Amino acid sequence: YYVVASYRSVGYAQRFIDGRKKLGAQVINGTAKGRPVYRVAVGPVSAPERGTVHRRLVAAGFADTWSVRLSAPTAPIELASAE
């Protein structure tokens, strides 16, 4: 996965994704300094695809991305719509 943004609110993370559907990103929950964070990540990305995906993200304006490897399955968070 490549992380393109991190938020303390799942709502902000989801809004980021909603405004950039072409990225194919998802929200992955985690912790930083003991606090919950919600990372906007593109992936999973296989080893042969890493360079191509990173170049695509940089070209889209996400120069400050970093890769992460998940050690345990983490399901994306989905928000229920209030329709």
pLDDT in tens, 5-64: 999 999 999 999 998 988 889 999 988 999 999 999 999 999 999 999 999 999 999 999
The predicted structure's pLDDT at residue 37: 94
d(CA 67, CA 41): 9
Instruction: Examine the pLDDT at 80 and tell me if it is beyond 70.
Output: no
List, in order, residues 6 or more apart from 71 with CB less than 8 Å away: none
- Report residue 70's pLDDT band, with 50, 70 and 90 as the boundaries: confident
d(CA 48, CA 19): 28
The predicted structure's pLDDT at residue 49: 94
The amino acid at 42:
V
Structure tokens at 21: 């559907």
